[in-house]
Amino acid sequence: MKNIIVFFILLLNTCFFIQAQDLSSPQGFKLEKPSDYAKYHDYIIEAAQWLENTPLNEEVEKRRAIQNFVQKWTAGSPSVRVNKQAFIDIFTEKNPNLFPVFLAAWASYQIQHPEEKNLDKLHAIGLTAMNKVYQMGGAKEEKFFNKLAQIIADGDLETWVGYQLEQ
């Protein structure tokens, strides 16, 4: 019985991984009126998963297309408002491709939890996703990620974000 449960857990994880890796590049999208944005909620969630699970130096053209879409979508979405604060820039200065990871993670979380307005939590979601991608490799060395990784490991990320937002 235990082997069957383990098998199903592995099967579910494999299916999730394959789904996240099979995301297609956005083509022919139309973002002109508020209702256009809602059509892409599922895509944004999948894009966030794909961006978070794919190293920066893999599938570069596909990443660029997905990142461009995420940036356009978050810039105009009536249901998701990313209120990025300046302290995030220290993490993306050398690696601007990490910023769309931040945007996608924030947007995905807010789509799935529309009641969430806590900026500490939303920034923490984005930072955690950026850190995960950074740790996979393919990014330029950035000393601030060492500190961020330790803050996350200590379970103090939301508190640290709150302090940063007060500055």
pLDDT classification of 1: cutoffs 50, 70, 90 = low
The pLDDT value recorded for residue 56 is 94
The pLDDT value recorded for residue 153 is 97
Query: Count of CB atoms within 10 A of residue 118's CB?
Result: 14
What is the spatial distance between Cα 127 and Cα 121, in angstroms, rounded to a whole number?
10
pLDDT classification of 9: cutoffs 50, 70, 90 = very low
pLDDT at position 5 over 70: no
Q: What is the mean pLDDT of residues 46-71?
A: 96
Contacting residues for 66 by C-beta, under 8 A, at least 6 apart: 23, 25, 26, 47, 50, 51, 100
pLDDT at position 97 over 60: yes
In the chain, domain spans: 2-166
Per the model's pLDDT, the better-predicted residue between 148 and 19 turns out to be 148
